[in-house]
Structure 1
Amino acid sequence: MNFLTIIDSIVILFILMGVGYASYKSGIITRDGAHGLSSFLVNITLPSLIIVSMQIPLSSETFGRTMEMFAIAIIYYILSFAFAFTVPKYLTESDLEKGVYSFMLVFSNLGFMGIPVTAAIFGNGAVFYTSLVMLPFGILAFSVGILMLRPDMGRYFDPKLFLNSGIIASITGLIFFFTGFHIPAPFIDVLEILGSLTTPLAMVVTGSLLATMPASSMFKDFRIYAMTLFRLVIIPAVLYLILNPFVSDRLLLGIIVILAGMPVAANAVLLAEEYNVDSTAASKGVFISTLLCIFTIPLTAYFLL
């Protein structure tokens, strides 16, 4: 296990958050500017990243393992949703706050951290299977995830809710994946460039939103620590206990358990900001869970290996 790779990924995220924090404090980024960046990320760069992440070659040699990984990923998401619909009830009485905590319990930082961390622990062969777990991410985040953040939207159901850029990108990406269609240059190059902006800009936005609150408040919200405990420790532990008797392939089992213990996705901040819910709670969730995963991920990897 390359411990330095894990630390490197986490340090990069904190430096980017620091850039956003300093930019807001110095007036380079305003509150309106942060909201504008969030909209750009949600509607342009994140959909680009979703499509690019689904450009995975599917061969007959890997088909069996691919289907097994899909089945394992489904169990992971079902378990995460089960926690997401129960745990927040004990953390807050506000429906909008419950939605933010629910979103943070389901959606983790699979992209920027998941790929380098699983590669560092299990080798480069883990990258393909990590990407498979990411496939449902876009559709779930831009459908169920939005209804989590804004449950009031579900009470007055509007089909247009699901005609957003994230859903369109996810469906397009899945079609390309199952048909084996590869986007030609220069279009794939443009999508890769736009997609690569998502994580750095998302962390900058997170840092700028953290700058809007007193520094001490980042560490005083016990609800964030409770959510983080589930996000980093309890969900991966329960998932391991469920899957261990049935999954004989230790590589696939190890990958999904490590991914289940990733910190909160920066997308939580972007979508909370886009849909006018508590983006400060999401920012704190990203900050605290990313900080603490420096201890929990190596411990989880040590247990698995």
Structure 2
Amino acid sequence: MPIAVPLIAQCLVMFALMGIGLALCRLGLVSDTGTKELGAILLNVVFPVVIIRSFWGHFTPENLSVLGITFIGATAALMVAMAVARLAFPHDGVAEFSAAFSNAGFIGIPLVEATLGSEAVFYITCFIAELNVLQWTYGKWRISGSTDSIKPASVLMSPMLIGFAIGVILFLFQVPIPEVIGDLMGSIAQLNSPLAMIVLGAYLAKSSPGALFGTARTWMTALVRLVAVPAATIAVLATIPAAGSVKLAIFIAAAAPTGSNVAVFCQQLDRDTQAASNAVCLSTLLSVATLPVMAGVAGLVL
């Protein structure tokens, strides 16, 4: 079955979940504080558990080899994304960050899990770890224009990076999974997709339609993130000798819409937060159409 078919179905489900989040926020049933707290649960608990679960108990010599391949593929995909974004927006750090870094956590993980299976999350763990490091270093530098904003402690304390490190240790040392722990992680992991999409829907509710759809800069940023970067990613992944499912998983994570961290960093660094939020929201809406199309092309090439 072509990858685009299940991806379309999953995008529609996610779009419906986003609609629920938007409605809850507009109706006043979920406050800004509630949205932030739900986002904190995702970032600090659910996502790290999903990553740890993808490693724990899956050690085989083949998977060890695959881990090395996914690191190479993730590095190549991220480098090409940053290069394309830099060429498109050489003097606009906010737009460059928005175009370069995808929402591999909120959208990439649920999509990979739904279309390729829960075991495929293992294929994008290196991508997520590298993405977090690059956002907190290169990304913050491009937004602020100064290296003063980069704090190594913040990078090392990223929940995603900690989850990745724990997962790798458990993977390499082949630590057995107690049944009760396995059941607990499975229950937490099931929160991933619905909670992430509901939170994204609540974010969408904060943007006015006029601001969201009326800016040429926002459309250009979305075009680069959703079309130019995925096209370049397909080209670079095609040169890497790996199984098609591995490359497709990395591609889906790389082709996801703009990551929400750009708005967080802009708020911290006193930059254009509204433009960053609009880029996240518009690219998320458009990705419902672009992701299946680009994934269909990737399925044929990779």
TM-score bracket for this pair, using the shorter chain length: 0.7 to 0.9
Note if 1:269 corresponds to 2:270.
no
Query: Which amino acid is 1:140 matched to?
Result: E
**What letter matches 2:188 in structure 1?**
L
* Alignment match, 2:252: 259
Partner of 2:296: 298
Partner of 1:163: 157
Which letter maps to 2:204?
Answer: L
Shift of 1:249: 5.4
What is the CA-CA distance between 1:211 and the residue it aligns to?
1.4
In 2, the alpha carbon distance for the partners of 1:257 and 1:168 equals: 20
Given the superposition, is the C-alpha separation of residues 61 and 167 from structure 1 closer, same or farther in structure 2, using an over 3 Å criterion? closer
Letter in 1 for 2:287: S
Query: Which 10-residue stretch deviates more, 220-229 or 8-17?
Result: 220-229
Aligned to 1:33: 34
Shift of 1:135: 1.6
Aligned to 1:78: 79
Tell me the secondary structure at the aligned position of residue 256 of structure 2: coil
Q: 3-state DSSP class of the match of 1:89? A: coil
Q: Distance in 2 between matches of 1:220 and 1:261?
A: 26
Q: Which residue of 2 aligns with 1:8?
A: 9
Match of 1:144 among 134, 148, 151: 134
Q: SS of the counterpart of 2:182?
A: helix
In structure 1, the residue matched to 2:52 is: 51
Provide TM-score, normalisation by structure 2: 0.78
Q: Residues 76, 274 of structure 1: CA spacing in aligned structure 2 closer, same or farther, 3 A cutoff?
A: closer
1:285 to 280, 283, 286: 283
Supply the distance in 2 between the matched residues of 1:60 and 1:149 (Cα, whole angstroms): 35
Equivalent in the alignment of 2:204? 210
Distance change in 2, residues 1:238/1:181 (3 Å): same
Q: Which residue of 2 aligns with 1:89?
A: 90
Task: Please give the alpha-carbon distance, in whole angstroms, between the structure 2 residues aligned to 1:167 and 1:257.
Answer: 17
Given that residues 42 and 271 in structure 1 are in contact (C-alpha distance below 8 angstroms), is that contact kept between their aligned partners in structure 2?
no
Q: Distance in 2 between matches of 1:236 and 1:248?
A: 19
Aligned to 1:114: 112
User: Residues 207-246 of structure 1: matches in 2 within 5 Å?
Assistant: 207-244=201-238, 246=239
- Structure 2 counterpart of 1:189, from 176, 183, 195: 183
CA shift, 1:304, in A, is 2.7
Distance 1:26 1:264 in 2: 26
CA shift, 1:252, in A, is: 5.7
Write the letter of the residue equivalent to 1:285.
S
Q: 1:273 to 1:206 in 2, by over 3 A?
A: farther
1:106 deviates by 7.9
CA distance in structure 1 between the partners assigned to 2:190 and 2:262 by the alignment: 18
Partner deviation per Cα, 1:248-303 (whole Å, 9 max, x = no partner): 556368626743663226xx2267448735334323222222333243333443x4
| Residue 219 to residue 26, structure 1, CA distance change in 2 (3 Å) | same
RMSD between aligned residues? 3.4
Matches within 5 A, 1:119-134: 119=116, 128=119, 130-134=120-124
Question: What is the one-letter code of the residue matched to 2:44?
Answer: N
Relative to structure 1, the CA distance from residue 243 to residue 97 in structure 2 (aligned partners, 3 Å threshold; closer, same or farther) is closer
Following superposition, the deviation at residue 203 of structure 1 comes to 1.5
C-alpha spacing 1:141/1:191, structure 2 compared with 1 (3 Å): farther
**Number of residue pairs the alignment of both structures matches:** 290
Q: Residues 171-214 of structure 1, C-alpha deviation per residue, up to 9 Å, x if partnerless?
A: 11121222222432322332332233233222212211211222
Greater Cα shift, 289-298 or 272-281: 272-281
Among candidates 149, 164, 172, match of residue 166 of structure 2: 172
Preserved contact between residue 17 and residue 206 of structure 1 (Cα < 8 Å): yes
Q: Could you list the runs of 5+ residues in structure 1 that have no partner in the other structure?
A: none
CA distance in 2, matches of 1:78, 1:147: 14
Sort the Cα spacing of 1:243 and 1:36 in 2 relative to 1 into closer, same or farther, 3 A. Answer: closer
Provide, for residues 121-151 of structure 1, a one-character-per-residue CA deviation record: whole Å limited to 9, x for no partner: xxx7xx75x4343121342243222335543
- Percent identity, aligned pairs only? 19
2:206 aligned counterpart, secondary structure = coil
The TM-score, its normalising length taken from structure 1, stands at 0.77
User: Once the 2 structures are TM-superposed, how far is the Cα of residue 18 of structure 1 from its aligned partner?
Assistant: 0.3
For the residue of structure 2 that corresponds to 1:181, the secondary structure is: coil
